[in-house]
Structures are given as C-alpha cells and as structure tokens.
Structure 1
C-alpha cells in the first residue's frame, strides 16, 4: 500500500544485477530504474540521443511512489485484511513515520467506518519523509500518471534533528542527530498522538551548560520544556 513501485519487478530487478552486480533479491538493489538514460543506434556508436527530456537524459523507467493512505476505507471494503509497507533499505525514521500513519488511519476507520475521514495532520505525515511524487498505482485502473520523468531524486523537506531519551524536571533529554539551533521551531512525533510543534527557547549540553546550537553528532543534550514525550519519540525540523 505504500512505497516505491519498481518497473523492473520489485525485489527481482535484473538491471541491478546486470549493470552493477548488486542482487535486488538480496536487498542490494542499486535502483537503476531511477537513473537517466539515452538512446543509441547500433551503427552510430557514441551518438547518444535523449529519449525525450533534455541533455541529461530522461527517466523512462522511473515510477512514482505508491500511497494509499487516503483510501484505507476502500481497501477494507474490498476485503483486504493485511497491508504491506515498503521497508527495504529504508531508514528507521521512514518506517516509523509511515507505519505510524497507516496504523492511526486504520484505527480511525475502525472506530467509525461509515464516516471515515483522515485529519489533515495525518495526510501530511507521508510528505514528511523522503519520497517521490505519489500515486495510487493500479488500484483504480490503469495508472496513467504513474511515471515520473523529471528526475530520479527524492523530495525531502524534513530532517530528524534528535531522538528523545526521556523527560523530567521541565527538560526533554535527547540525542542529537542533525544540527539545530536555539530559536528553531521543531516538531515532536510520538506514537501516542499528533505531532507537537514548539520553539526551542533554551538548550543545554550534557554538562548542563547553556548552548545556542547543537552541532556535534550524537551529542547528549536537553531542551527546556514542560512537555513530556515517550522515549524514542522523534524530533524533526523543516528544512
């Protein structure tokens, strides 16, 4: 129901094995379907013609990502009782955010199937991970707009800046993942509710010294806040 759609047959891509000797069936796919390609005529070697786009080539094998979050009700009504979410070579952040979104969507549907409607914050979650343009694949007929020709890259608008270790005494104790600063607006995602936004007003290093920036990889630190979140909650920030 969610993730990359492989035009070369997901998990069995022969292109990856042939071009770079990386076996997709063993989780090592190099994703050659995301590369740019040119057309070359047999007798005109070294004359490369763009298939369409521009001098950089075209991404003729590149598919959009699938996203069925908004259609949980239709899947349930069709008799589906198990969902598969892509996890191959994905980060723990990607897996946690996407799985959390679908879990909550399922709970909302089950609580009132006849009036199923997702809150906006939940619709936004799938755009807060690294992704390509979304589509619904073959679920609603022929996927006329499933191909993505602009480039083979990802859309990434958020960074994980820290992970919560615990909360006590008006502090959020955490481990830094990416640089962020005093005055930044951050967002905390936990398994128990919707994301919570707040501005970093005070931050401290592991020795309780006041600091203006968290710029050391994996540094232990804390933020001044009366808010509390479960351990391992994700702290992220829009780029």
Structure 2
C-alpha cells in the first residue's frame, strides 16, 4: 500500500503551501466541529474551493469533525456533513461514536477516519472501530513501533493506519484533558484549548497573604507539564516497515513557513524510507530543516518503547522558537528582468542574506543586493507587509516557494 504524507492546513493559503511542498493530502476543519477553533479554519465556500483545488492536482483532503457533541449540536452537524459530501470530501476525522453513527446515516458517502482522540491502543479496539465502518484509524500517540505493527498485522489490509509523525504533543492521554476548561473556561472538547500545560506555574500557600513560591528549574522557571515535540524522521523506515499508511504532521495553528519546511523535510525522508526502508538513513540537512522551524525540542515520544518522563518533558521553557524567519512568499520569476517576484511577510533590507526554499531541493542562498517595489523604485528597507517586490537574482524560483532569513 502506498504511503501518504498528510500535512495540516489551518487556512487555504497553508493548504496550498502544503501541497506545493509535497503533501499527498491535507487535513483541515470547518468553522465548527473541529478541535482547533482558533486555527482560522474554512467557511463552507472555502471548503468547496479547497476540494476543487485539491482534486484538480490529484491530492486529497480530510475534514476534522472530532468534537464530542451534545444533542443540540446534531441539527447543525447534519447540514455540515451534507455540505462536506456535496463538496467531495475524501474523508472526515471523527471521535464521538454518536457522530460516527450519525454520519453513516445522513452522509454515507463520507469515508470515516477515527481521530486519535478515540485513544486506540490495541488491536481489539481497532477491530471494533473497523466493524463500525471506520476506514482509517489514527492511532493514539502512546504506542511503540512494535505495538503499531501488532495492530497493523491484526487488521484486515483494507483498514488503513495513520500515525502522527511530527509536531506538538499533549501532556494528557491523547488530548483527553480538562485543564483548559477548569483554568480558563475554554472548552478543550470544542476546540478551544488554551494550552494551560504550557504555562509557567508557581505554588501558592493561601495563609501567607497570597505569597507565591516559584517552581524553578533554572532562571526561566519550570514548565512541569510541557512536552517536547514529536519527531520520527530519524526512524521513518521502521514505521514504514510497521505498516503505517499515512504519516501525519501536527500543526494547523502553525505558520505557512512551518508547514512548508516540515512538509518538505518529511516528503524527502518518506520517499527515501518508502523506497528502501531497511536502508533508510536520515540525512543531516533534513534534521537541520526541522530545527530551523519553531519547536520545543524533540522527543521520540512512546515510539521507541518509552513511557514518558524526563525524556518527553521540556522542563526548561514553554516557548516554541525556530532558527529562521519567514520573509516572503514567491509569486514567480521574471526571466526578462532576471528577478524573483515576492510578497513580503517580514521586514528585510538590502544587505541581508536570504534562503530560497523550493520543493525537493536543498536551500539556495540569495544575497539581497537590490529591492524594487511595484512602482519600479529601488528601496533599502522592505517594511510593508504583503507588498509586492522584486529581488534581482540569477536563482530561478517558482510560485509557491518561500524565502527565509536565518536568525543571528
């Protein structure tokens, strides 16, 4: 069975970025019923546009409908599911058994993918969901490679296995957490998680005039529930041999640059792993690409048989920083004027050194010797966000490529 690289799409721009940089499929949500309420997400019209675009280039899209629903949610859910069926959705990602039964009844053409929120940890649970009509099971993150393989081997070959390959990890069991509900009133199960596990905490002894006692790992404090990010690129060949169908990148709330960089690295890695899984070796440049994106440090999670603990938790800092800034989106290349045409996203100046990211290619350095605006005027400092600009260079770029600048 052909492997699939599945990338996040918080909005239509990120969807197109993911496809440009090699995703076979993307996952995204409508304005309701998904677990990332603040990701931007897609209106009904945007969903139609998304599937029209995806299918025109031979890609797939899956829509998250993985909230845990109340009875009063179902009339609107009926309309949403019917709309997705009409739009040609390739599948919906679900977790609530009631929603699964309801979807089979009102929109039987929609393929069902079981969300990681369902905590599928064993072959008996996987077989149960398959009997319920689920085509693909997104396994819980709390599984080793050996356990993933055991589940794969126990299932009918027609049932697909999807695993998270890269991205943020929840400190709670497959995202089953009420911290956000208790501490902020924002409902985790309605997609409104405030990520309270990333906060910096202190001890408060109530009889001492609200005095706070810091919990300190170092001068920055301690983040006792803050997980490292999952990274599997080092051992992707082992997951291919275990029978994983789809390799999922987390990050619907991440930037377009993040989506581009991580998708490109895993695209090249997965191609190599799928071709020769026994001989797979992760290349240093793929590792470097991932380190340049926002991250909280990396862990193999439970994949190598670990059970959490110090190797999983980022005690030092909850901030997610990378080593490069997203400078511009490439709109095209002018072969007459020998310049790259861009849409600015972050400030840059003459004298800066930028790097061109293009699918399947190593990064190429572009020194900024001159910047020309839409009026044909030379400028020294590109300040205006989304301004169309030209940078003279012999490096040919394509629409959808990205320019970045490394941080000092």
- Output the TM-score relative to the length of structure 2: 0.55
| Contact 1:176-1:216 within 8 A present in 2 as well | yes
- Give the one of 346, 354, 362 matched to 1:186: 354
Displacement of 1:92: 2.1
| Contact 1:11-1:25 within 8 A present in 2 as well | no
- Give the one of 326, 330, 340 matched to 1:160: 326
Q: Does residue 146 of the first structure (1) align with residue 281 of the second (2)?
A: no
**Which aligned pairs between 1:149-228 and structure 2 lie closer than 5 A?**
149-168=315-334, 169=336, 170-228=338-396
SS of aligned partner of 2:291: coil
Flag as ranges the 4+ runs of structure 1 deviating above 6 A. Answer: none
Relative to structure 1, the CA distance from residue 48 to residue 114 in structure 2 (aligned partners, 3 Å threshold; closer, same or farther) is same
| Contact 1:164-1:234 within 8 A present in 2 as well | yes
Displacement of 1:112: 3.2
| Contact 2:171-2:227 within 8 A present in 1 as well | yes
Displacement of 1:26: 3.1
| Contact 2:220-2:317 within 8 A present in 1 as well | no
Greater shift, 164-173 or 26-35, is seen at 26-35
| Contact 2:357-2:403 within 8 A present in 1 as well | yes
CA distance in 2, matches of 1:37, 1:105: 38
- Report the equivalent of 1:94: 258
| Contact 1:185-1:237 within 8 A present in 2 as well | yes
SS of aligned partner of 2:248: coil
Structure 2: gaps of 5 or more residues? 1-164
- Output the TM-score relative to the length of structure 1: 0.91
Relative to structure 1, the CA distance from residue 53 to residue 71 in structure 2 (aligned partners, 3 Å threshold; closer, same or farther) is same
SS of aligned partner of 1:127: helix
- Report the equivalent of 2:246: 82
- Give the one of 195, 214, 223 matched to 1:59: 223
Structure 1: gaps of 5 or more residues? none
| Contact 1:11-1:29 within 8 A present in 2 as well | no
Greater shift, 226-235 or 139-148, is seen at 139-148
1:17-48: CA deviation from partner (whole Å, max 9, x where unpaired): 22112222333221110111122356556243
Greater shift, 140-149 or 38-47, is seen at 38-47
Greater shift, 160-169 or 19-28, is seen at 19-28
1:77-112: CA deviation from partner (whole Å, max 9, x where unpaired): 222222121123222221222122111101122233
| Contact 2:221-2:316 within 8 A present in 1 as well | no
| Contact 2:235-2:282 within 8 A present in 1 as well | no
Greater shift, 112-121 or 159-168, is seen at 112-121
CA distance in 2, matches of 1:192, 1:135: 25
1:152-201: CA deviation from partner (whole Å, max 9, x where unpaired): 11222211111100101201001111111112110111124221112112
Relative to structure 1, the CA distance from residue 44 to residue 25 in structure 2 (aligned partners, 3 Å threshold; closer, same or farther) is same
- Report the equivalent of 2:233: 69
